[in-house]
Structure 1
Amino acid sequence: MNKNSILGMTCLASALLFLGTGSSYAQSKASDLKSWPKGSSPKEIGVRIADRFVTTPHSNFNRPGPPKVITYPETCTWYGALTFAKETKDAKLLGKLKDRFEPLFGVEAKMIPVPDHVDYSVFGSVPLELYMQTKEKKYFDLGISIADKQWGPPEGPRVVAASQGYYDQGYTWQTRLWIDDMFMITAVQAQAYRATGDQKYIDRAAKEMVFYLDQLQKPNGLFYHAPDVPYYWGRGDGWMAVGMAELLRSLPKSNPNYERIMKGYKTMMASLLQYQTEEGMWRQLIDKPESWPETSATGMFTFAFITGVKNGWLDKEVYGKAARKAWLKLITYINTDNDITDVCEGTNKKNDYQYYLDRKRNVGDLHGQAPLLWCATALLRK
């Protein structure tokens, strides 16, 4: 072999090595959850959305006029802003979020929801988060009382579930087998566990989650909006995805229900991966290509993917790539007022396909603002 041949082979080998390295780098970049183009980082986006929240009056489900009590979309956004403040060590933001709460101990006391329903009980997650960040006992007392009432004897007018015997089986009397519940119930119980270290709270949440998984999860890993409504509604499934991710984030592996929940979570994540659009979104009806890309569900699924990757439950290259694509597309829906667009309006269940396709697309709805903060927080977590 002459000198020129050897030189040529060496150059070819170097070129192949370079191409291989380049391909590896490109793949790594596609799944990178740390480096972001200017203006798209979780800290930049989180600041915008959190600042928008602290200057927004109490939400009445995107309807005019003030609410009678704090609504669950506001609770979810408040919780997201608090966790974002924690991860960014933003004392100023924390102070503003505390200031928003102070009137509830005084002139706005009637706005604290009576915890006789899952949508009201989830409010307890906010004072518990405030307690963990400030160590002020008044927040603990309020939050833990709500968590305890959720598993205490049935009280108040909403006791339909109790008559179905769930409470006697060790489940909360607020059980109703709506997929939304698996964030509303598990969020406050997981927070109570984080605040106290008392395993009874996380055990309750895990047992409840398994009950819902066994009753409601379909073989493809997704969930109908309700047993009598055979549609995979995006935000409904989003509550399950976020609920499982949040629960697993704190659930000890020694818990007897850990593996069952992890199986349900991974099955759902694998199914969601198949339905992500080429642009990175998920649709109002997950499996229907004719339905529209919807931001609240996309934010929720993105949070579940990010949390799975960060905790090592999901393959980084596969799900990291999907999460990055979703985040970068999702934030393009934020307008100049820092309001997310294309949020499905609040949706009661209805066995009518067209009903879901025709749902109003809200702007600035806290159902969509909250997941942005959850995602920003999850991206910043170690």
Structure 2
Amino acid sequence: MNLKTLSMMGALLFMAGLGTHAQKKNVVNDSNTPLHLLQPEYKVPYGELSVKDIKSDMDRILHYLEANTPARVVDKKSGKVITDYNKLNVNSQLERGAFRLASYEWGVTYSAMLTAAETTGDQAYSDYVKDRFTFLAEVAPHFRRVLEKEGDVDPQMKQILTPHALDDAGAVCAAMIKAMQKDPSLKLNGLIENYMDFILNKEYRLADGTFARTRPQHNTLWLDDMFMGIPPVAYYSYVAAEKKENYMAEALRQIFQFAERMWVPEKKLFRHGWVEGMQDHPAFHWGRANGWALLTMCEVLDVLPEDYPQRDKLLELFRAHVRGLAACQSGEGFWHQLLDRNDSYLETSATAIYVYCFAHAINKGWIDAMAYGPVAQLGWHAVSTQINEEGQVDGTCVGTGMAFDPAFYYYRPVNVYAAHGYGPVIWAGAEMIKMLGEQHPKMNDSAVQYYRTEQKTNEPIFHVTDGGK
């Protein structure tokens, strides 16, 4: 090996040594970097929220729904729009959009729109409700005439005129009562009385009066029916001609009779289904059904007088449910399809319902913002990732029956046309806007914290506790 070759090898080794030394100098370690400030790789956004961003998400949904839920009557053969309702016949039907105007999912959507209008001041949300409720009230008597004459009518209108399940009646009825309270010019009394006649007098019940079904087994309780039946009964106490106090008592009786059979205290969650006469009662904690239960308690607490004798008992159950649900939230901010089974998929509609209920309870003073504000905020961040540019809500489980095996719940499809997602997301967004206006969230040492007073410093906040410890 000649001298020139040795010189070149030495230079290369020297340069390699410098590179290694330079590389070591640039290594991020505990000595040269505050590692606690490294940016985590969150799967959903984390941190501060803005009212502007929430409203933008809500508006996309509103505009999508305005375009995809027409309020018109058409001839099902020709497709022509019918404006003279006196000419309706057996071939007349509500124009088909992406969603039905009087399904229970849309009852949730109407209630959410009313809250959104009140919270944001944007009357486009209440106009959506008013336009469709006015339309349904106008066409209902004419479709009833067709039904009486022909013995048949458009299935969507038949669901309104002759409800056969709480799904047909409860959520829309409650929304109509709320709408009339906000706008007495709406002429919805006939539809409300028709719905309430079914709920109070025709719905199937157990021997003790609890709302029940005859499927999939005889004398089955569905947790869903807490929401489908109880809120309209509670809200009817506002508009009933007499015996108003009876309806509030009935609403509470139903809640506690459901809880007696379906509340699982060791989990602080509700089971989805309960069948009278079963030796054992399997507990599948389906996400959306637990959402319906929590939402029912919110709705009843909203109308229950502060001094009502059983209010504290209801609040105790509500708070216990909040604790159980908060413990089940995933690191992505969503809740799982089966709440206590982390290998089941992350689901949007249940998550949105919990965000609404948690934020609403904070705004009402029922639960502590310091404990549950970050839970709601993380949940909204998760939900917002499921609103696409068109305004569709993704990740929502389709309509679901009841089962006693896990596979049924694990493999229920999700779809952007599952109507269950739209109302809860708008409701959640509206309540988050209100919460941000009344609470004081702030990032502190990389974490979301809720404070009782505004924190004006941008530095990490450390509050001295008793004794300076």
Matched, 1:224 2:271: yes
Counterpart for residue 346 of structure 1: 399
Counterpart for residue 208 of structure 2: 166
Counterpart for residue 192 of structure 2: 143
What is the 5 A alignment of 1:31-50?
Answer: 36-37=49-50, 39-41=52-54, 43-50=55-62
Counterpart for residue 185 of structure 1: 229
Counterpart for residue 94 of structure 1: 126
CA–CA distance in structure 2, aligned partners of residues 58 and 75 of structure 1: 16
Deviates more, 1:203-212 or 1:247-256: 247-256
Choose the corresponding residue for 1:201, options 231, 235, 247. 247
Unpaired segments ≥5 residues, structure 2: 1-45, 72-95, 144-156, 214-218, 275-280, 439-469
Residue 36 of structure 1 aligns with an amino acid whose one-letter code is: L
Counterpart for residue 183 of structure 2: 134
Matched, 1:105 2:137: yes
Counterpart for residue 25 of structure 1: none
CA–CA distance in structure 2, aligned partners of residues 275 and 67 of structure 1: 31
Note the C-alpha offset of 1:275: 0.9
Tell me the secondary structure at the aligned position of residue 102 of structure 2.
coil
Residue 271 of structure 2 aligns with an amino acid whose one-letter code is: Y
Give the 3 Å change call, closer, same or farther, for CA 275–255 of structure 1 in structure 2: same
**Conserved 8 A contact 1:210-1:257:** no
Give the 3 Å change call, closer, same or farther, for CA 150–173 of structure 1 in structure 2: farther
Matched, 1:295 2:337: no
What is the 5 A alignment of 1:231-242?
Answer: 231-242=284-295
**Conserved 8 A contact 1:343-1:367:** yes
After superposition, the CA RMSD in angstroms is 3.0
Note the C-alpha offset of 1:191: 2.7
After superposition, the C-alpha distances for 1:138-196 in whole angstroms (9 at most, x for unaligned) are: 22343244235422x33xxxx542xx3234xxx56889521001111122123323456
CA–CA distance in structure 2, aligned partners of residues 67 and 379 of structure 1: 25
What is the 5 A alignment of 1:1-382?
Answer: 36-37=49-50, 39-41=52-54, 43-57=55-69, 70-107=102-139, 109=143, 110-111=157-158, 112-122=160-170, 123-136=172-185, 138-151=187-200, 153-154=201-202, 160-161=204-205, 164-167=206-209, 177-195=221-239, 198-219=244-265, 220-227=267-274, 228-381=281-434
Note the C-alpha offset of 1:134: 1.6
Tell me the secondary structure at the aligned position of residue 298 of structure 1.
helix
Tell which has more relative contact order, 1 or 2 (C-alpha 8 A, sep 6+).
1
Tell me the secondary structure at the aligned position of residue 49 of structure 2.
coil
**Conserved 8 A contact 2:62-2:391:** no
Give the 3 Å change call, closer, same or farther, for CA 186–160 of structure 1 in structure 2: closer
**Conserved 8 A contact 1:229-1:350:** no
Relative to total residues, which structure has the larger strand share, 1 or 2?
Answer: 2
Residue 57 of structure 2 aligns with an amino acid whose one-letter code is: I
Tell me the secondary structure at the aligned position of residue 385 of structure 2.
helix
CA–CA distance in structure 1, aligned partners of residues 198 and 162 of structure 2: 10
TM-score by length of 1: 0.79
Percent same amino acid among aligned pairs? 25
Give the 3 Å change call, closer, same or farther, for CA 260–115 of structure 1 in structure 2: farther
Counterpart for residue 6 of structure 1: none
Number of equivalenced pairs: 336
Note the C-alpha offset of 1:295: 0.3
CA–CA distance in structure 2, aligned partners of residues 186 and 239 of structure 1: 11
**Conserved 8 A contact 2:69-2:101:** no
Residue 316 of structure 2 aligns with an amino acid whose one-letter code is: K
**Conserved 8 A contact 2:109-2:423:** yes
TM-score by length of 2: 0.65
After superposition, the C-alpha distances for 1:297-324 in whole angstroms (9 at most, x for unaligned) are: 1011111211221112211111011001
CA–CA distance in structure 2, aligned partners of residues 235 and 266 of structure 1: 18
Give the 3 Å change call, closer, same or farther, for CA 160–144 of structure 1 in structure 2: closer
CA–CA distance in structure 1, aligned partners of residues 186 and 134 of structure 2: 14
Tell me the secondary structure at the aligned position of residue 234 of structure 2.
helix
Note the C-alpha offset of 1:334: 0.7
**Conserved 8 A contact 1:229-1:349:** no
Give the 3 Å change call, closer, same or farther, for CA 275–74 of structure 1 in structure 2: same
CA–CA distance in structure 1, aligned partners of residues 237 and 119 of structure 2: 19
CA–CA distance in structure 2, aligned partners of residues 348 and 195 of structure 1: 33
Tell me the secondary structure at the aligned position of residue 409 of structure 2.
helix
Residue 199 of structure 1 aligns with an amino acid whose one-letter code is: E
Note the C-alpha offset of 1:67: 8.1
After superposition, the C-alpha distances for 1:266-323 in whole angstroms (9 at most, x for unaligned) are: 1111011111111211011111111111001101111121122111221111101100
Note the C-alpha offset of 1:376: 2.3
Give the 3 Å change call, closer, same or farther, for CA 144–137 of structure 1 in structure 2: farther
Deviates more, 1:370-379 or 1:341-350: 370-379
Unpaired segments ≥5 residues, structure 1: 1-30
